[in-house]
A and B are shown apart, each in its own frame.
Chain A
Amino acid sequence: MPPTLAVWKFASCDGCQLTLLDCEDELLTLAEEVKIAVFAEASSEMVGGPYDVSLVEGSITTKHDEQRIREIRGQSRVLVSIGACATAGGVQALRNFADVAEFASVVYAKPEYIDTLATSTPASAHVTVDYQLPGCPIDRGQLLDTLAALLIGRKPRVPAKTVCTECKNRGVTCVLVADGIPCLGPVTHAGCGALCPAHHRGCYGCFGPAATPNTAALIPVLRRDGMSEDGMERLFSTFNVTAFTAERNDR
Chain B
Amino acid sequence: MTTDTSTRTRTLSVGTLTRVEGEGALHVVMKDGLLESVELNIYEPPRFFEAFLRGRSYTEPPDLTARVCGICPVAYQVSACNAIEDACGVEVDPALVELRRLLYCGEWIHSHVLHIYLLHAPDFLGYPDAFALAQSERAVVERGLALKKAGNRLMEFIGGRAIHPINVRLGGFYSVPSGADMKAHTEELRRALDDALATVAWVGGFDFPDLEVDHEMLALTQPGRYAIENGTVARSVGPSFAVADFTDHVVESQLPHSTALHATLDGGRYITGPPARFTLNSSALSPIARQAASEAGLTGECRNPFRSIVVRAVEVVYAIEEALRIMDSYEPPPRPFVEVPARPGVGHGVSEAPRGLLYHRYRIDEDGSVAAATIIPPTSQNQGAIEADLAGAVSGNLSMDDAELTTLCEKIIRTYDPCISCSAHFLKLSVNRR
| A interface with B by C-beta (< 8 Å) | 9-16, 18-19, 21-22, 24-25, 27-28, 31, 36, 39-46, 61-62, 65, 90-92, 94-95, 98, 100, 102-104, 106-110, 113-116, 120, 136-137, 192, 195-196, 198-201, 204, 206, 231, 234, 238-239
Beyond A15-B164, A102-B51, A109-B253, 20 additional contacts (C-beta under 8 Å) are: A11-B45, A13-B67, A13-B71, A14-B70, A15-B71, A16-B70, A18-B71, A22-B148, A31-B131, A40-B23, A42-B131, A45-B132, A90-B67, A91-B47, A98-B52, A103-B46, A104-B48, A107-B48, A137-B161, A201-B166
> In whole angstroms, how far apart are the Cα atoms of A82 and B118 in the complex?
21
- Which residues on B sit within 8 Å (CB–CB) of A110? 254, 256
> In whole angstroms, how far apart are the Cα atoms of A146 and B49 in the complex?
31
The answer, yes or no, to whether B247 is at the interface (CB within 8 Å) is: no
- Which residues on B sit within 8 Å (CB–CB) of A114? 46, 259
- Which residues on B sit within 8 Å (CB–CB) of A107? 46, 48-51
Assess the A108–B259 pair: CB atoms within 8 A.
yes
| B interface with A by C-beta (< 8 Å) | 15-23, 43-52, 54, 56-57, 60, 63-64, 67-71, 73, 114, 118-119, 122, 128-132, 134, 138, 141-142, 145-146, 148-149, 152, 160-164, 166-167, 169, 173-175, 253-254, 256, 259, 261, 336, 410, 421, 425
Q: How far, in Å, is A115 (CB) from chain B's closest CB? A: 8
- Which residues on A sit within 8 Å (CB–CB) of B175? 199-201
Closest 8 CB pairs of A and B: A15-B70, A43-B129, A103-B51, A92-B47, A24-B149, A201-B174, A45-B128, A24-B145
For A107, the closest partner residue in chain B by CB is B50
Assess the B71–A31 pair: CB atoms within 8 A.
no
> In whole angstroms, how far apart are the Cα atoms of A16 and B70 in the complex?
8
- Which residues on B sit within 8 Å (CB–CB) of A206? 164, 166
For A193, the closest partner residue in chain B by CB is B161
Q: How far, in Å, is A170 (CB) from chain B's closest CB? A: 13
**Which of B48, B131, B167 is in CB contact (< 8 Å) with A92?**
B48
Q: How far, in Å, is B419 (CB) from chain A's closest CB? A: 8
For A192, the closest partner residue in chain B by CB is B161
Q: How far, in Å, is A77 (CB) from chain B's closest CB? A: 22
Assess the B254–A108 pair: CB atoms within 8 A.
yes
Q: How far, in Å, is A182 (CB) from chain B's closest CB? A: 12
For B153, the closest partner residue in chain A by CB is A24
**Which of A41, A90, A136 is in CB contact (< 8 Å) with B18?**
A41
**Which of A45, A103, A196 is in CB contact (< 8 Å) with B129?**
A45
Q: Given A116-B45, A195-B160, are A42 and B119 also a contact pair (CB < 8 Å)? A: yes
> In whole angstroms, how far apart are the Cα atoms of A90 and B48 in the complex?
12
Q: Given A24-B148, A204-B63, are A14 and B164 also a contact pair (CB < 8 Å)? A: no
**Which of A19, A28, A238 is in CB contact (< 8 Å) with B145?**
A28
Pull 5 A–B residue pairs with CB atoms less than 8 Å apart, ordered by A.
Answer: A12-B70, A14-B22, A102-B51, A198-B160, A206-B166
Q: Given A28-B141, A43-B19, A238-B63, are A14 and B69 also a contact pair (CB < 8 Å)? A: yes
Q: How far, in Å, is B165 (CB) from chain A's closest CB? A: 9
> In whole angstroms, how far apart are the Cα atoms of A196 and B173 in the complex?
12
Q: How far, in Å, is A156 (CB) from chain B's closest CB? A: 20
Q: How far, in Å, is A136 (CB) from chain B's closest CB? A: 6
For A68, the closest partner residue in chain B by CB is B426
Q: How far, in Å, is A214 (CB) from chain B's closest CB? A: 23
> In whole angstroms, how far apart are the Cα atoms of A90 and B164 in the complex?
14
For A61, the closest partner residue in chain B by CB is B45
**Which of B48, B164, B167, B254 is in CB contact (< 8 Å) with A103?**
B48
Assess the B70–A65 pair: CB atoms within 8 A.
no
Q: How far, in Å, is B152 (CB) from chain A's closest CB? A: 6
For B19, the closest partner residue in chain A by CB is A44
Most chain A Cβ neighbours within 10 Å, of B68, B130, B132, B166: B166
Assess the B166–A195 pair: CB atoms within 8 A.
yes
Q: How far, in Å, is B418 (CB) from chain A's closest CB? A: 12
- Which residues on A sit within 8 Å (CB–CB) of B425? 9, 11
**Which of A39, A43, A109 is in CB contact (< 8 Å) with B254?**
A109
> In whole angstroms, how far apart are the Cα atoms of A5 and B179 in the complex?
43
Assess the B52–A95 pair: CB atoms within 8 A.
yes
> In whole angstroms, how far apart are the Cα atoms of A102 and B49 in the complex?
13
Q: How far, in Å, is A122 (CB) from chain B's closest CB? A: 14
For A139, the closest partner residue in chain B by CB is B161
**Which of A41, A62, A102, A195 is in CB contact (< 8 Å) with B161?**
A195
> In whole angstroms, how far apart are the Cα atoms of A195 and B160 in the complex?
6
- Which residues on B sit within 8 Å (CB–CB) of A196? 160, 166, 174
Q: Given A18-B71, A24-B149, are A46 and B48 also a contact pair (CB < 8 Å)? A: no
For A43, the closest partner residue in chain B by CB is B129
> In whole angstroms, how far apart are the Cα atoms of A107 and B256 in the complex?
14
For B47, the closest partner residue in chain A by CB is A92
Q: Given A15-B70, A114-B259, A195-B160, are A9 and B253 also a contact pair (CB < 8 Å)? A: no
Assess the A13–B253 pair: CB atoms within 8 A.
no
Q: How far, in Å, is A166 (CB) from chain B's closest CB? A: 14
- Which residues on B sit within 8 Å (CB–CB) of A15? 67, 69-71, 73, 163-164
Assess the A65–B141 pair: CB atoms within 8 A.
no
Q: How far, in Å, is A78 (CB) from chain B's closest CB? A: 21
- Which residues on A sit within 8 Å (CB–CB) of B146? 24
